[in-house]
Amino acid sequence: LNHINTMRIAAARSGIYALKNIGTPKELKGTLLQDYFTRRADKALAHYKDRAILAQHKAAAKASYLKGRIDEYLSLLETAKEGANGCLLRGDTDGNAATRDGANLQTVKCGLKPPEATDRRRSGATITAASFTAPQRNDDKTSNAQPSIVNKRCLLLSSAQTHGYGNSNVATANGAEVMGGYIKIPKTDTKVTLVASTTLHTAEANQHEAWTEAHQAIQSNKGHDHADCQNETSDASDRQDIKSAITHLYGTKAPAEENIVDSKLTLILGDKTSAKLAAAEHEVNKEEIPDAIAGRASKKTLGEIDNQEELASLIAYYKSAASRKITELKQQLQEANAKAGQQNAADICSKLTAKSDCINKPYCSYNESTADGDKKCKFNETKAKEKGVPVTQTQTGGTETTTEKCKGKPEKDCKDGCKWEGTEFKDSSFLFKRNFL
- Of the three residues 223, 257, 284, the one that is the final residue of a domain is 223
Backbone angles phi, psi at 320, to 5 degrees: -65, -40
Nearest one of 76, 185, 204, 63 to 132, comparing CA atoms: 63
Query: Is residue 149 a part of any domain in this protein?
Result: yes
d(CA 377, CA 353): 7
Closest to 69 measured CA to CA, from 17, 5, 112 = 112
State the pLDDT at residue 168. 58
Amino acid at 108: V
* Domain end (from 200, 223, 246): 223
pLDDT by 10s per residue, the chain, length 437: 788 899 999 999 999 999 999 888 899 999 999 999 999 998 888 888 888 888 888 999 999 999 999 999 999 999 888 777 788 888 766 678 888 998 898 888 888 888 888 777 777 678 888 888 888 766 555 555 566 666 677 878 877 666 666 665 665 666 788 999 998 887 776 777 888 888 888 988 888 999 999 999 988 887 677 777 778 888 888 788 888 888 888 866 666 677 778 888 888 888 888 888 899 999 999 999 998 887 777 899 999 998 999 999 999 999 998 888 888 888 888 888 777 777 888 888 888 888 889 989 888 998 888 877 677 898 888 888 888 777 554 443 334 444 444 555 555 555 554 554 444 444 443 333 333 33
Residue 39 domain-assigned (yes or no)? no
Q: Is 133 within 8 Å of 127 (Cβ atoms)?
A: yes
378, 367 Cβ separation under 8 angstroms = yes
d(CA 41, CA 11): 9
Q: What is the CATH number of the domain that holds 173?
A: 3.90.150.10
Domain of 190 in residue numbering reads as 54-223
Q: Is 157 among the domain residues?
A: yes
Q: Are strands 193-194 and 183-185 parallel, antiparallel or unpaired?
A: antiparallel
Q: Are 212 and 200 in contact (CB under 8 A)?
A: yes
User: Cα 247 vs. chain centroid, distance in angstroms?
Assistant: 19
Question: Which residue, among 364, 367, 337, 351, has the nearest Cα to 432 in the 3D structure?
Answer: 337
- C-alpha distances in Å from residue 188, one per residue of 140, 160, 171, 195: 19, 5, 10, 18
pLDDT at 408: 53
Amino acid at 126: T
* Distance from C-alpha of 251 to C-alpha of 225, rounded to nearest angstrom: 33
Domain count across the chain: 2
Question: Other CB atoms closer than 10 Å to residue 310's CB: what's the count?
Answer: 16
Cα gap 205→212, rounded to integer Å: 11
Q: Are 402 and 396 in contact (CB under 8 A)?
A: yes
Is the residue at 285 inside a domain? no
150 domain residue, yes or no: yes
Quick one: pLDDT at residue 3?
Answer: 87
Cα 397 to Cα 83: distance, rounded to the nearest angstrom: 122
Q: Give CA–CA dist 233/11, Å, rounded.
A: 18
The pLDDT, as a whole number, for residue 96 is 80
- Single out the residue in 196, 223, 250 at which a domain terminates: 223
For the chain, first and last CA: distance in Å?
44
Would 20 be classed as within a structural domain? no
3-state SS string for the chain: CHHHHHHHHHHHHHHHHHHHCCCCHHHHHHHHHHHHHHHHHHHHHHHHHHHHHHHHHHHHHHHHHHHHHHHHHHHHHHHCCCCCCCCCECCCCCCCECCEECCEECCEECCCCCCCCCCCCCCCCCECCCCECCCCCCCCCHHHCCCCCHHHCCHHHCCCCCCHHHHHHCCCCCCEEEHHHCEEECCCCCCCEECCHHHHCCCECCECHHHHHHHHHHHHCCHHHCHHHCCCCCCHHHCHHHHHHHHHHHCCCCCCCHHHHHHHHHHHHCCCCHHHHHHHHHHHHHCEECCCHHHCCCCEEHHHCCCHHHHHHHHHHHHHHHHHHHHHHHHHHHHHHHHHHHHHHHHHHHCCCCHHHHHHCCCEEECCCCCCCCCCEEECHHHHHHHCCCCCCCECCCCCEHHHHHCCCCHHHCCCCEEEECCEEEEHHHHHHHHHC
In a domain, 264, yes or no: no
Query: Letter for the amino acid at 91?
Result: G
d(CA 260, CA 219): 43
Question: Distances from the Cα of 191 to the Cαs of 25, 206, 318, 328, 397, in angstroms?
Answer: 80, 22, 77, 91, 116
For residue 14, the tally of other CB atoms under 10 A from its CB is: 26
In a domain, 238, yes or no: no
